[in-house]
A and B are shown apart, each in its own frame.
Chain A
Amino acid sequence: MRIRDYVKPGDLSHAYERLVGTKGAVVMGGGIFLRLQNRTVPLMIDLADLGLDGVNITGDRVEIGAMTTLRQIEKHIGLPEALTGAMKQIAGVSVRNMATIGGSVMGRYPFSDVIPVLLSFDTTLHFHSSGDMALLEYLENGLPCCDILTHLTFNMPEKSAYKAYKSIYTDFALVNVSVAKKDGYCVSIGARPGHSKCVRVDDVDEVLGLVDRFEFGTDHRASAEYRKALAQALLEDIWEGGESWK
């Protein structure tokens, strides 16, 4: 990536003004995925000085700043196990020290280990200008105009778990599954290889049959049949591990 100009604003409104006022301007979280792109950016707006990092837990409500790194989340003892566990196998420590949760969500990466977990928690995204949007809606429709994600929120699940199948320890998942219990059960499956989807049911006995309600695809890494069988095995593994989900 080539960058013509760079700013690191100390104020969110100023950052937003520069974003909407400069054609082709881009905001930067950790910047590591942006850097892999082959394009020229007229203005890179670094969000590092806006104080958008940190985790806040008040009662059941969890708020995570968009600039919180994956490693900060991984090491946070108050966050649900599915979320901290999902971080542990994302690339190496140095990547997780830089990659942000905001960049991970905004990129809508189909291989993401982060998105299926947040989806199973029914996460809401909070934007500086556009206000609030359900993560599911953002995944399906994107944003109507450029904006800055400031933080995301969800209510703490009663119980949650995440499993991914990676053929090499630090590789992208061939498929991944997240389950959360909160007013019923939400199962989300990602890397199918399309982006994550989730299905919600009230009855605990229905959960193990949910894989049939997802579509799986074939690419150079795995066939649809293999992905579906893996997803079923991961779900059963989650179901059998630990205390009862009832």
Chain B
Amino acid sequence: MEVTLIINGDHFGFSAEPDEVLLDTLRKLGFKSVKRGCDTTSCGMCHIIVDGQLVPSCSYLTVRANRKKIVTVEGVQEKVRAIAEFMTAEGVEQCGYCSPGHMMSLIALFEENPKPTMDEVKHYLAGNMCRCSGFEGQHRAIAAYLEVEQS
């Protein structure tokens, strides 16, 4: 089926199988920040933003996304870099596999709620797993980022 996606502002037209999911499409198109974790909508590693909504790309049919606007980490590098500095300072990254999905959740959260409390942050990130169990470090880094951003 013919599909057009607007990924990080650029148009991509191609043919997709009816059961292809955005995770596979995006990786095929070179957006390798999008990672496969559980493949069952449980880990958040494949998170992207479609028409302003945070979604798991492992469960989003590519044909359903026809003509929609998609954002991946590649399209928001400036914002990601600003948060990543705090993650690095806290030594959060271990294997780093969960980072892109985690970043997409944070970017979606800050769009929706620019001044979240840490309880709101934790609630919003509840669907993001870190196989290396770096949750405490992530929370410390986000708290430090918010303190600077909000001051």
A93 interface hit (Cβ, 8 Å): yes
B-side contacts of A3, CB under 8 Å: 17-19, 61
Nearest CB on A from B67, distance (A): 11
A-side contacts of B12, CB under 8 Å: none
Binary B-proximity of A81-112 (CB < 8 A = 1, otherwise 0): 00000001001111101100000000000000
Contact B60 A98 (CB under 8 A): yes
Contact B105 A94 (CB under 8 A): yes
B71 interface hit (Cβ, 8 Å): no
User: In this complex, what residue of A is CB-closest to B41?
Assistant: A32
Given contacts A91-B41, A95-B127, contact A6 B56 (CB under 8 A): no
Binary A-proximity of B76-105 (CB < 8 A = 1, otherwise 0): 000000000000000000000000000001
Contact B53 A48 (CB under 8 A): no
B128 interface hit (Cβ, 8 Å): yes
Contact B44 A94 (CB under 8 A): yes
B59 interface hit (Cβ, 8 Å): yes
User: In this complex, what residue of A is CB-closest to B52?
Assistant: A97
A169 interface hit (Cβ, 8 Å): yes
Give the most central of A3, A6, A31, A36: most B CB within 10 Å: A6
Pick the contact of B47: A8, A94, A170 (CB < 8 A). Answer: A94
Instruction: Tell me which residues from 18 to 52 in chain B have a Cβ below 8 Å from any Cβ of chain A.
Output: 18-19, 21, 40-42, 44, 47
A-side contacts of B41, CB under 8 Å: 32, 35-36, 91, 94-95
Contact B59 A93 (CB under 8 A): no
Contact A94 B18 (CB under 8 A): no
B1 interface hit (Cβ, 8 Å): yes
Pick the contact of B64: A46, A94, A170 (CB < 8 A). Answer: A46
Chain B: residues with Cβ within 8 Å of the partner, total of: 28
User: In this complex, what residue of A is CB-closest to B48?
Assistant: A94
User: In this complex, what residue of A is CB-closest to B54?
Assistant: A94
Contact B44 A2 (CB under 8 A): no
In the bound assembly, the distance between CA atoms of A97 and B54 in angstroms comes to 7
26 contacts between A and B (CB under 8 A): A1-B19, A2-B19, A3-B17, A3-B19, A4-B18, A6-B63, A8-B64, A31-B60, A32-B56, A35-B41, A36-B41, A44-B18, A88-B123, A91-B42, A91-B127, A92-B44, A93-B105, A93-B124, A93-B126, A94-B44, A94-B47, A94-B54, A97-B53, A97-B54, A98-B56, A170-B127
Instruction: List chain B positions with a Cβ less than 8 A from chain A.
Output: 1, 17-19, 21, 40-42, 44, 47, 53-56, 59-61, 63-64, 105, 108-109, 123-128
